[in-house]
Structure 1
């Protein structure tokens, strides 16, 4: 089976959870041995792991015909894409896009990530998808999140192949209900045109059905997973904090959706009971300054640390250095970070309003707004060695069974159902 997949970010260039999920899904599908995946990305850098998928650099796909020498093409894009593939794509340009802002190779540039002109880049990406869809041979299309839905729709119109979309989040999650009408319309158009809708949790599936008015028969829950720790991360030693200060960590975007203020308020309550705990709020976001201010107002700034955005090995060093991981999200479609924490042997507290709460048992679940319960849970794990050890051992054992290979098998079955092969 051949899959044409549209993504937006991919390790090692991680801007959020979407990159981690896209990588895990691709690896899980590749592990089956007989799936051929072509993954389109706006601006790959050339250092991505390409074992699981053939990566197409959308900023190197010509949409306007240019007469250029092979060696020049190679010098310009050879680090991310084959010059031979460039010429194949050039022969499948289906309209005159010279009126658009293209470079000397006839390609459109992308900033990468989430720039201020994001909607323009989403539209440009969808135009380029038409050229790729006319060049590639594939059985099914898989588009990840709203950023790539227009590309998926265009590829479907060009090829006539069925479209699966993967809902990693909706604007209802990101905005606490204050939905951006432009984003909502892109999301709904993607869902309306999809033949199969994969949702990262039942929570998200119900949002898709009720808020976007989709047929439940084409909506399926596909929970996320974690991939095994790399050896260099697995070898990171957990420090022994017995009789020492405990460390409690929040790691993620410091923004409204993630509920950082509830973490600070719970921390304040814990620190009224003991001063033998330090709190770490790792990440960046539009509420970071407000959280620094709130910690100062509560008189706990001397117990609070804001190390900023972390990636790669830093994340796992932070998780292994922690005695408790807390994810107080107001609305979390899934939430991979608690799985990563439990994988590191770090007891986790998660909000009941998160998708991962549907599949995790060996952690503590609280309502995001119940700072009393959150504070009690943090204090109990820090003060009770037996509880800490139980959650550490059983949590790791549970998460080690939640693999991307199992997710890949389920996605494959959904592909085959959508294609009418079963």
Structure 2
């Protein structure tokens, strides 16, 4: 089966959970012998793993015809794309895009991030998708998150192939209900045009049905999974102090993630004992606010803000932790608790997270219940039997949650969608 997939980020260059999920899902799907995935991202960097899929960079797909020689094209795109593909795509430019700010290859530049002109990049991405959809061979289109829904719609209109969209989050999750009307309109338009909608949790599925008014029959829950730890990560030996416990929050420090509840729970725990350190790893628009709150609560000497972490840094931090906590206000899924449990770290999650639907060997509290959160932290740090149970059983549980199984479920959805579409 040939799949044309649109995404916004791909490891090792990730800015959030979307890239991690995209990698895990495509790697899991690639275990199927006949699965061929072409994955489009705004800007490849050349160090992406293309052993199980092919990556096309929107920034190296021409939208304006240029007379350029092979060696020059090879020098510009050869690290991540076959130069011949550039010429093949050039033959499928479908309109006069000279009004766009194209470079010397006739391509549009993309930041590969989430820039101030994000909506302009989303629009340009959808234009480039039209060229790719005319040139590539595929049976189904798969668009990840709202940023690529317009591209999916355009590819569907160009190719006449069915569109599946993957909802990793909605603006209701990101904004605590204070929805951006422009983003909502893009999300709803994608859902309206989709032949099927995959959601990362039942929580998200209900949001899609009730807030975006979608037919429940075309909306499925497809929970995320976790990738096996590579050997170099397994070999990391954590640096731990024997008489001190470490409790970690790791994620974007934003309203959605509930960082203030973590700080308040930490203050309660530190009124009972002082042998615990708290770590808030990540960055975000509430970082300074959290630093001030820590100071106001008088716990700055036991609280650390190491900043954004990626790759092996994440696992070094997790392995050095005695407790991992995700107090999200609204979390469509949340892969990080699975990663923590994989590292044998006892985990506390909010009941308002999608992963709570599939995890049992962890402690679940309401995000706002800082008393319950503080009790859970204190108990894990104080009672060895509870710590060991959550450590061992948690790891056992997540080791059975595999992307390969998720890939098979996605395949069944594809087959049903294609069958219905061709009727």
TM-score tier by shorter-chain length is over 0.9
Structure 2 residue 68 is the aligned partner of structure 1 residue 68:
yes
Unpaired stretches in structure 1, ≥5 consecutive residues: none
Across the two proteins, how many residue pairs are aligned to each other? 421
Partners of 1:361 and 1:68 lie apart in 2 by 58
Structure 2 residue 258 is the aligned partner of structure 1 residue 252:
no
Partners of 2:291 and 2:68 lie apart in 1 by 54
Structure 2 residue 181 is the aligned partner of structure 1 residue 188:
no
Partners of 1:154 and 1:175 lie apart in 2 by 27
Alignment of 1:214-363 (within 5 A): 214-238=214-238, 242=242, 244-363=243-362
Give how far 1:238 is off. Answer: 4.1
Partners of 2:50 and 2:186 lie apart in 1 by 30
Unpaired stretches in structure 2, ≥5 consecutive residues: none
Structure 2 residue 420 is the aligned partner of structure 1 residue 393:
no
Deviation string for 1:363-393 (max 9, x for gaps)?
0000000000000000000000000000000
TM-score, normalised to structure 2's length?
0.98
Partners of 1:205 and 1:52 lie apart in 2 by 29
Partners of 1:126 and 1:16 lie apart in 2 by 22
- What's the secondary structure of 1:284's corresponding residue? coil
Structure 2 residue 102 is the aligned partner of structure 1 residue 102:
yes
Partners of 2:355 and 2:205 lie apart in 1 by 13
Give how far 1:15 is off. Answer: 0.3
Deviation string for 1:318-349 (max 9, x for gaps)?
00100000000000000000000000000000
Structure-1 residue corresponding to 2:135:
135
Deviation string for 1:129-164 (max 9, x for gaps)?
000000000000000000000000000000000000
Structure-2 residue corresponding to 1:28:
28
Deviation string for 1:144-189 (max 9, x for gaps)?
0000000000000000000000000000000000000000000000
CA RMSD of aligned residues (A): 1.0
Structure 2 residue 80 is the aligned partner of structure 1 residue 80:
yes
Structure-1 residue corresponding to 2:8:
8
Partners of 1:46 and 1:372 lie apart in 2 by 48
Give how far 1:52 is off. Answer: 1.7
Deviation string for 1:271-325 (max 9, x for gaps)?
0000010000000001011101000000000000000000000000100100000
User: Runs ≥4 in structure 1, deviation > 3 angstroms?
Assistant: 238-242
Structure 2 residue 96 is the aligned partner of structure 1 residue 121:
no
Structure-2 residue corresponding to 1:378:
377
Partners of 2:163 and 2:406 lie apart in 1 by 18
Alignment of 1:38-57 (within 5 A): 38-57=38-57
Partners of 1:314 and 1:83 lie apart in 2 by 35
Partners of 2:72 and 2:381 lie apart in 1 by 61
